[in-house]
Structure 1
Amino acid sequence: MSIKVMTMVWDSPAFSGNTKLIMLCLADYANDEGLCWPSIDSVARKCSLSRSTVKAQLKKLGEQGVLSAQRRKKTTEEGTKTNDTNLYQIHISVLKNTLEEGGEFNPRSKSDLGQNSAGGRSKSDPKPSLDPSDIKDPPKAPLSENSESNSEPTAEGKKRKRSAVSLPDDFTVTDAMQQWYAEQGFTLNVQAATQQWRDAMLARGQKYSDWIAAWRNGMRNANKWASERGGSQQQSMFSRMGRSDGNYGPPEGYR
């Protein structure tokens, strides 16, 4: 085992994955001059890799110039010649160059994107992350004319999300809300529908951060049910409002 060679392999950024694993294995067999002669089977067993993977990586290292292999023959007791283990030479000078250059053997593109300078810092900005959670200032969707902000300004001018609260005791249908109701072409009486909706909300202890939006969605549902079941069964529809399965209320995002 050569601690000297192994340390250089550990510190070199030119190797990764199976390539680094095999280089560490060879360094474990090598002397300080980088000479070793383990069999393919020994390297494969020690690295928990297949023979084909080891052979492919050794060929790659040879093409990169960091390793050279000398085929050897041996004579058996019967006098016949057979293959012996290869003699591998880890080229220490090339290995040192990878430490100084801080790069890989493979040709790199002319772009500086993602490459490191000699000091270890990137020469250019990193590639943008595809993870939305990594974006410092994610784009915000513009509010539509009918959408309502779910936040309120703070003393510093920033906005904070409003917390969900129970239905206010003084909740009333304003002129603007009645105008919106009339524009929808609804058939139910706005006051009657609102009273039934209010009872349903209080009975379930529902909480929302935007009760006007909750009311609008409740009115849509109430009129939809009335239209589906017919005007003569409006009272049955109002009973249904009181025993909603939980889907009654504003769209997702207002909860």
Structure 2
Amino acid sequence: MAKVEINIINKKTITPPMVPPLEKFSSVLDKPSRTRTSGNRATQTPNDFLITTELVEWAAKQSIKINLDLETEKFLNHHRAKNSKFSCWQSAWRNWMLRAEAYAEEKKLRQPPPPVNSNQLDWDDTSWRLDLGL
């Protein structure tokens, strides 16, 4: 039978890995990150967000027929309440408007037909009973 060796490690003999002093990395730590600059940082909802002429022209080009002022107010209220952060608020606004237009179209499709004028109804018609098997 083969002899099995078991290595028992004494915790007192283990040395922690060597950590170099921070002075060697001070030049690296002081540099700004290459991946994020202050130009593309996400910010909270701006207090002075305005619908520019470019945004209005974009909405016209996209055939957006909803009320831009009302939807912009909804957009800003929603993102202020959620404390949302975006790097480009104009892009977020455009996405909101595209979705709002799509929701408005869906809502039109889901609405029931307008009520029939009760003067045109034949109140004596009981043919509907045949559908029930009566």
- TM-score after normalising by structure 2: 0.51
More strand by share: 1
Q: For 1:220 and 1:197, locate their aligned partners in 2 and report how far apart those are by CA, in whole Å.
A: 12
From 223, 228, 251, the equivalent of 2:106 is 228
State whether structure 2 residue 91 is matched by structure 1 residue 205: no
Q: How does 1:172-191 map to 2 (within 5 A)?
A: 172-191=50-69
| 1:183–1:231 Cα change, 3 Å | farther
| 1:229–1:174 Cα change, 3 Å | same
Gaps of 5+ in 2: 1-35, 112-134
Deviations 1:185-219 (A, max 9, x none): 11201111111111111111110011000000011
Q: Which has the higher contact order (CA 8 A, sep 6+)?
A: 2
Q: How does 1:68-147 map to 2 (within 5 A)?
A: none
Aligned-pair CA distance for 1:232: 9.6
Give the aligned partner of residue 214 of structure 1: 92
Identity of aligned residues (%): 31
State the structure with more CA Rg: 1
Q: How does 1:4-19 map to 2 (within 5 A)?
A: none
State whether structure 2 residue 66 is matched by structure 1 residue 192: no
Give the aligned partner of residue 119 of structure 1: none
Q: For 2:49 and 2:110, locate their aligned partners in 1 and report how far apart those are by CA, in whole Å.
A: 29
Q: For 2:83 and 2:96, locate their aligned partners in 1 and report how far apart those are by CA, in whole Å.
A: 15
Give the aligned partner of residue 56 of structure 1: none
| 1:231–1:165 Cα change, 3 Å | farther
Give the aligned partner of residue 43 of structure 2: 165
Aligned-pair CA distance for 1:231: 8.5
| 1:192–1:232 Cα change, 3 Å | farther
| 1:231–1:169 Cα change, 3 Å | farther
Deviations 1:90-146 (A, max 9, x none): xxxxxxxxxxxxxxxxxxxxxxxxxxxxxxxxxxxxxxxxxxxxxxxxxxxxxxxxx
Gaps of 5+ in 1: 1-158, 234-255
